[in-house]
Structure 1
Amino acid sequence: MILILMGVSGSGKTAVGSYLANKLGWKFYDADDYHPKENKEKMVNGIPLDDEDRIPWLCTLHEILMREISLGENMILACSSLKRMYRRILTGEQSATNRTLRENQERSQLGCSKNILFVYLHGPIQLITKRLDSRKGHFMSPSLLQSQFATLEPPEGTENFINISIENSISEIVTEIERHLG
């Protein structure tokens, strides 16, 4: 099983993900660690990332997911996954390269998308702004929060996801996620 904790910056993806991974004994990856230097520089300078910036980063994360699935490992990835297209790239349901739809369908049949659950961490912008304002040492400028909310396409429909409010404590959020895992 792979959990992808998604949401805007400041929603608690890293804090919840590392806590849950430690509790379950699963691997934990923070997508922020895989941003190229150019992306980090843009964010430090308050410049929002666009699809052209994000897609190579998402492809790198997709390869990590495929590797862990092929090894049969359980893992948690903290990744904003703001757009449906980004989530589809992560799961292999949509290609960001020249792969054909047939290749993507074959990859999907390997179990990639079925073994991935998106955990949408959401909350009021006032709470998230307060968290970002108090966060130290992160490259993401709090001024970019509005652009993240503008980009955000919450999961819906046939996407494999659960909604989790971030208005509770980290331990309560983790307990709620564990309940969904069974």
Structure 2
Amino acid sequence: MIYIIMGVSGSGKSTLGIFLSKKLNWPFHEGDSFHSKENIEKMARGEPLTDQDRFPWLLKVHEVIQREKCSGCDALVACSALKRQYRQILLHGSRALSASSPGSQLDISSSSPDVFFIYLHGDYDFIYQRLATRQGHYMRADLLRSQFDALEPPLNEENVLTLDIRKGVSEMAAEVEKHIMSVKPSTEKL
């Protein structure tokens, strides 16, 4: 089972991912570490990424997800996954890009039964305050508006668990554990 922790920058993806990784003993993959040097430099200059900037990055994260799925391991991945198309790329790789081309007949399902999204939901002002005080990260607080503008909150059909980021990390982790228990076959329970 793979859980993709998604949301805008500053929503707490890495914090929750690291916490869950320790608690569940699952590997955690930080999606930001797969950004190109050019993407990081662009964000550090305060320039929002375009879809064309993001597609190669999303395909790299897709490869990580596929590798974990093929190994049969449970894993956690942090990735903003702001748009539905981005989430489709995470699930289906380049097939999702082909499916979105004009005139494409390729049909891809909207979800994968063994991949779930954890959507960290919070309001702009709350997250902006977090970003404004965050040290040592290339994502600047003034880029947050562009992330909210791009955000397409996931639909239930996308296998999503929505968490309110005003809750503490322990409380959110407990909700994730409850979700895992509800979806894992009884022979695989924690």
- TM-score when normalising by structure 2: 0.87
Residue 95 of structure 1 pairs with residue 99 of structure 2: no
Could you tell me which residue of structure 2 aligns to residue 14 of structure 1?
14
Task: State the 1:131 CA deviation.
Answer: 0.7
C-alpha separation between the residues in 2 aligned to 1:19 and 1:101? 42
Whichever residue aligns with residue 153 of structure 2, its letter is P
Whichever residue aligns with residue 72 of structure 2, its letter is G
Identity of aligned residues (%): 46
C-alpha separation between the residues in 2 aligned to 1:176 and 1:12? 15
Where do 5+ consecutive residues of structure 1 fail to align?
none
Whichever residue aligns with residue 7 of structure 1, its letter is G
**Contact persistence 2:85–2:96 (CA under 8 A):** no
Residue 63 of structure 1 pairs with residue 63 of structure 2: yes
State the Cα RMSD in Å.
1.9
**Contact persistence 1:59–1:96 (CA under 8 A):** no
C-alpha separation between the residues in 1 aligned to 2:126 and 2:175? 20
Task: State the 1:127 CA deviation.
Answer: 1.2
C-alpha separation between the residues in 2 aligned to 1:53 and 1:177? 31
C-alpha separation between the residues in 1 aligned to 2:149 and 2:34? 23
Residue 168 of structure 1 pairs with residue 167 of structure 2: yes
Where do 5+ consecutive residues of structure 2 fail to align?
182-190
C-alpha separation between the residues in 1 aligned to 2:112 and 2:41? 32
Could you tell me which residue of structure 1 aligns to residue 148 of structure 2?
149
**Total equivalences in the alignment:** 176
Give the SS at the match of 1:95: helix
C-alpha separation between the residues in 1 aligned to 2:64 and 2:176? 22
Task: State the 1:2 CA deviation.
Answer: 0.3
